[in-house]
Amino acid sequence: METALLVISVLIIVIVLLQSNKASDASQIISGGNNVLLGKTKERGLEVVITRLTYFLGFAFIIISAILSF
């Protein structure tokens, strides 16, 4: 079980590094870039897969960590 947790941890790190840079979008919201705040930008293609994989791996990480803590 610890090995699975280690593998999931490494995969989460890799997947997060593969994600597009959303920090610039957040800075535009603060600085007044309304096109990002009100724009209807949707993730497409590989971005959707990476985002969903990140959610799944994060959920698996939390569940396995909870199981190991008991």
Tell me what pLDDT residue 62 has: 96
Query: Which tens digits make up the pLDDT trace of 13-47?
Result: 999 888 876 655 556 556 655 555 555 566 678 88
Does the global pTM surpass 0.85?
A: no
Q: Where are the alpha helices (DSSP H) in the chain?
A: 2-18, 23-31, 34-38, 46-69
pLDDT above 70 covers a percentage of the chain that reads: 66
Q: Reduced to 3 states, what is the DSSP secondary structure of residue 32?
A: coil
Cβ pair 51, 19 in contact under 8 A: yes
**Identity (one letter) of the amino acid at 30?**
I
